[in-house]
Structure 1
Amino acid sequence: MTNPSTLYRGGVLHCPADPSATALLVRDGRIAWLGVDADAPVADRVVELDGALVTPAFVDAHVHTTDTGLVLSGLDLSGVRSAGELLAAVAGFAAGLPADAVVLGHGWDESTWGDRRLPDADEVGRAAGGRRVYLSQASIHSALVSRALLAACPEVVSVAGYDVSGWVRRDAHHVVRAAAQGSVTRAQRVAAQRVALARAAAVGIAAVHECGGPDISDEEDFTGLLRLSGVGVPEVYGYWGELGGAARARELGAVGAGGDLFADGALGSRTAHVSQAYRDGEAGACGHGYLSAEQVRDHLVDCAAHGVQGGFHAIGDAAIGTVLAGFAGAAEKLGVERVRAARHRIEHAELMTRRLIAGFVEFGVVASVQPAFDRLWGGAGRMYESRLGLTRALESNPLGAMHGVGVALAFGSDAPVTPLDPWGAVRAAVAHHNPVQRMSVRAAFAAHTRGGWRAVGLDAEGVVALGAPATFAVWSTPAGVERGLPVVQAVDPEARGVADPTPLPVCRATVLRGEVIYEDGSV
């Protein structure tokens, strides 16, 4: 016996195979019929769309779900613009906590401050009333911590990246992060995961790629999240970032041994491995590379032996070069076609050259990228210029160049580094600070929908088409619709860019394989 059918009618459908379609029928989790309202079959339930737009739902190809939920329900520091504002925010938040609580905050970015002086560990501790404090920088590759938290993990003083000021990076950051997050109970973690997944569904996201690993989250956190997948919330596809951990990734239920398997750090903390020294760091400092080409090669060979996807976090051009050298070594052992068929990934890929882009093409590498990085930190007067200089800043996040030569793109947010905001990411790709790197709305939308499904090997997903899974989102489009997609840019070219006033679409419902996982009550 079939399940009840639902007819959605009276809408505008993003359906290239049938551009005139205004209605679709969902039965048994699939799209069983498409066409115009007048020809619609009888259904058990009818949903009136009232002119709303129906598109494939989004996929966010890089998230940290637990952290995102903790930020959404915790201390958000993305809006502070000085050390004083940060300390005031900590004091206000800590005032409502028990005396033995750990203060967890995220999102400060000193590159946006007029005075970039950071508070030290003593100031942070005083603001929190003596509590242990962990405040991750926007990149999540460094943090400000209180003296009490440093005292709780005395081994940190002998670890790379420790600084007596309380701004810790590299391995020291991993130590204090583990100590701080150890205060979060399992029940709190599950609650945070549900908060994050609910937010994803509310913005039209039907699937996320969770990037976990021993330096990011523990195994129980990771497997617990995978158990939530698709049960009234978006589906979760897990990546476990442990070097040589392909067998363990499979045991944990991951689709790949990659994600945040760190080949380097981040630009915000000056730990991304770059070929030219940072302009605002120590003389000659080029960040840090954490892997060798041989380690990359052996990891990919291990992935092939266990039949899983591999992948690496690589931001700086030096780190990406090392990773691609490892791909070349793996190709020598396995053959280029076997490497290409695996659709291995590189996350972020922010600083690229033509030679490096050619390596992505040669080895069939999926670029899991975040357009919001350019929106927040690209262009003149922003963090990339401070770290790299304007010329290199404008060369960063080369979305258009990669798309133009056929690199497979999968868009994501890296939440909580940037918010879960898929239409914002589409607009960021369309309005890249460097005009040469801009993409069309259609290409950017495809990278954030079909690109995410293809990155996990589900090539038939991400379309509104007859017989396809009924995974779609329903949108209000205040700026209108053009050729089956929302208008996301101002008509006047002078008004476009980071501050574009054009209102973005608002999600009215998200449907995953026929099940409504979000609705705002208007459909």
Structure 2
Amino acid sequence: MSTTLYRGGAVLTPAVLAAPASAVAPSALLVADGVVAWVGGADEADGLADAADEVVDLRGALVTPGFVDAHAHVLDTGLVRAGVDLAGCASLADALAAVRDAATGAVGRRLAAEGSPLTGWGWAEDAWPEGRPPTRADLDAAAGGAPVYLGRVDLHSGVVSTSFAEVLGLRALPGWREDGSVTGEAHAAARAAVRDLPADARDARYRGALEAAARAGIVAVHEQSAPQTDTRAGLAALLALTADPGSALPLVVGYRAELCETADDVRALAAAVPGLTGVGGDLAADGSLGSRTAALRAPYADAATGWPHPAGRLDLTAEQVSNHVASATRAGLPAAFHVIGDRALDEVLLGVRVAAEVEGVEAVRAAGHRLEHASMLDAPALATLVLLGLTASVQPAFDDAWGGDDGMYAARLGRGRAASLHPLADLRAAGVPLAFGSDSPVTPFDPWGAVRAAVRHRTPDQRLPLAAALAAHTRGGWAAGRGGGRGAGAAVGRGEVGAVGDGGAGGSGVPGGAGGVGVSGGPAVAGDLAVGAPAHLAVWRVPEPGPGVLPALRDDDPLPECVRTVRAGVVLHDELG
């Protein structure tokens, strides 16, 4: 047995999380063979120190459950990290200057050596003084005619240079515009070319993204793989790469967005991607608000004259949704759908209701189906989510980035409709299971930033209590992932996921052991720091503590800094020394 004793800090147990302002936090925690074996105070820790293989002095740090990012794109995140970062550009001129510098600098040379175009990511024209996105003429001038692709922040549209468009034949594809902007099929073809990498470069992108997640205190990532973001083989490689905690990488929980018509289709997909957790994820019913491709009941407030889809574009029908959900239910895997606009949500929920009429409501409820984003929810939609047992996988950082009276959502929808987006408190009050993610690289791996965005939602009556937000980003992620990759024969390490029954680490003679029962009296589950639970944890320096042990999370407060991330007892990131 290998043991590590953490002492001299504050441990966020379920009991402390239930009363964060008043509960007294334990100061020490013992991990044995990847499982939480004991949680307690300084006196008992003194008696355990001599027998522990490693003793870690927390120096007052806060120990929380490790975070789960329930919606991310690993390859895209790696590609963004390797390209030109345009997220901080305050103007079109700044973005073009960054492209110009990169084209003649190290980034351009490295990408060219890999046979890749110059790529840039994260731009958004809404706040730029020029009031417009780049054009292909702009890119041609900035990069000297070299092939260039710039992806908008939402990754649902982009702009390309003339040479890039000509090599790929983008002019002949739906979604091409003469100014070089691309959506739909043209954008999908552009992104496919960008991710066409040698094996070693692709592996480096995967590892770079996952290492960044670990530095952010994340122990598991739900990869929302789709044909437009990665291949089946790429997803299978990711699942194999991270299945064992010994990889020293966060666990990847795999979803694959391929539309299925029969249970045999689902089973064939699961056989092709060993370890697959669900079918869907970024199976898109529509696009995004930023690119004006999310399907709405009423037109966009700022759609230009001649915009081809003034109320967005619906990409799935209720019949397709119904067949997919029924097939996934029969095959025993969860389905999941990308859905942003209210019109798209109407169509998806109609399809799920039809599937429930065929398969039975209880079978659909038990399957663990998910909605990704689900940004525009009204009361009837909430009731349907509750009836059908759907989980809402949401991104609070979206509200922080684009909400408010003067944000992008207000520009696209008008202030009235924008104020109703991301109704987190309504979802919680209705009893809809919540899981938080980033949609990285759309927003970065930043779990405390997401928690703060939920706690300080721009619409005050949609704010969550801190404990609820933390639970959605930890325990909620494990629950939404059905335990973390156990579907379709996935291999996971000992103590990796799920509840730990009698005879777990707590029964090994360690003081305070409870045979797999958490310190709150309930069963120990992934996402809790309780005896018998998997030792998924993160250690934080908290610069501005609030009442009790948790950070205050005021708007201008610095966020906690991750100094160690641990998955099933294995250290993924360490600055404690």
TM-score (normalised: structure 1):
0.94
Q: Which residue of 1 aligns with 2:222?
A: 209
The one-letter code of the counterpart of 1:27 is A
Q: Which residue of 2 aligns with 1:10?
A: 8
Q: Which residue of 2 aligns with 1:35?
A: 40
Instruction: State how far apart, in whole Å, the 2-side matches of 1:176 and 1:277 are.
Output: 28
Instruction: State how far apart, in whole Å, the 2-side matches of 1:150 and 1:518 are.
Output: 41
Instruction: State how far apart, in whole Å, the 2-side matches of 1:435 and 1:475 are.
Output: 28
Instruction: State how far apart, in whole Å, the 1-side matches of 2:67 and 2:134 are.
Output: 39
What SS does structure 1 have at the residue aligned with 2:282?
coil
- Alignment of 1:235 with 2:238, yes or no, is no
- Which residue of 109, 125, 129 corresponds with 1:114? 129
Instruction: State how far apart, in whole Å, the 2-side matches of 1:453 and 1:479 are.
Output: 28
- Which residue of 270, 280, 287 corresponds with 2:312? 287
- Alignment of 1:471 with 2:536, yes or no, is yes
Alignment of 1:82-481 (within 5 A): 82-96=91-105, 97-98=108-109, 101-154=116-169, 156-182=170-196, 184-229=197-242, 230=245, 231-244=247-260, 246-251=266-271, 252=273, 253-282=275-304, 285-458=310-483, 460-481=525-546
What SS does structure 1 have at the residue aligned with 2:255?
strand
Instruction: State how far apart, in whole Å, the 1-side matches of 2:250 and 2:466 are.
Output: 24
Deviation readout 1:230-265 (Å, 9 max, x if unpaired):
410100001000000522441203100011001000
CA deviation after TM superposition for structure 1 residue 115, in Å: 2.0
Deviation readout 1:88-147 (Å, 9 max, x if unpaired):
111111112346641111100011212212232122122112111111101000001111
Change (3 A) 1:16 1:484: farther
Instruction: State how far apart, in whole Å, the 2-side matches of 1:115 and 1:436 are.
Output: 35
- 8 Å CA contact 2:12–2:25 kept in 1: the answer is no
Instruction: State how far apart, in whole Å, the 1-side matches of 2:176 and 2:147 are.
Output: 17
- 8 Å CA contact 2:14–2:528 kept in 1: the answer is no
- 8 Å CA contact 1:17–1:465 kept in 2: the answer is no
Instruction: State how far apart, in whole Å, the 1-side matches of 2:477 and 2:281 are.
Output: 13
- 8 Å CA contact 1:479–1:502 kept in 2: the answer is yes
Q: Which residue of 2 aligns with 1:492?
A: none
CA deviation after TM superposition for structure 1 residue 340, in Å: 0.7
CA deviation after TM superposition for structure 1 residue 20, in Å: 4.2
Deviation readout 1:160-206 (Å, 9 max, x if unpaired):
21111111112221112112322x32211111111111111111100
The one-letter code of the counterpart of 2:266 is A
- 8 Å CA contact 2:76–2:229 kept in 1: the answer is no
The one-letter code of the counterpart of 2:32 is R
Instruction: State how far apart, in whole Å, the 2-side matches of 1:410 and 1:176 are.
Output: 31
TM-score (normalised: structure 2):
0.86
Q: Which residue of 2 aligns with 1:495?
A: none
Deviation readout 1:23-43 (Å, 9 max, x if unpaired):
111111101111112113231
Gaps of 5+ in 2: 17-23, 484-497, 499-524
**Comparing 96-105 with 203-212, which one deviates more in the overlay?**
96-105
Q: Which residue of 1 aligns with 2:504?
A: none
Gaps of 5+ in 1: 490-499
The one-letter code of the counterpart of 1:21 is P
Q: Which has the higher contact order (CA 8 A, sep 6+)?
A: 2
Instruction: State how far apart, in whole Å, the 1-side matches of 2:53 and 2:132 are.
Output: 63
Instruction: State how far apart, in whole Å, the 2-side matches of 1:236 and 1:249 are.
Output: 17
- 8 Å CA contact 2:92–2:134 kept in 1: the answer is yes
- 8 Å CA contact 2:195–2:230 kept in 1: the answer is no
What SS does structure 1 have at the residue aligned with 2:52?
coil
Q: Which residue of 1 aligns with 2:551?
A: 486
The one-letter code of the counterpart of 2:188 is H
Change (3 A) 1:101 1:45: closer
Instruction: State how far apart, in whole Å, the 1-side matches of 2:228 and 2:14 are.
Output: 43
- 8 Å CA contact 2:563–2:574 kept in 1: the answer is yes
CA deviation after TM superposition for structure 1 residue 73, in Å: 2.8
The one-letter code of the counterpart of 1:399 is L
Cα RMSD, aligned residues only: 1.5
- 8 Å CA contact 2:277–2:482 kept in 1: the answer is no
What SS does structure 1 have at the residue aligned with 2:14?
coil
Q: Which residue of 1 aligns with 2:506?
A: none
Query: How many pairs align?
Result: 508
The one-letter code of the counterpart of 1:466 is V
**Comparing 109-118 with 503-512, which one deviates more in the overlay?**
109-118
The one-letter code of the counterpart of 1:278 is Y
- 8 Å CA contact 1:12–1:22 kept in 2: the answer is yes
- Which residue of 77, 92, 102 corresponds with 2:86? 77
- 8 Å CA contact 2:9–2:59 kept in 1: the answer is yes
Identity %: 45
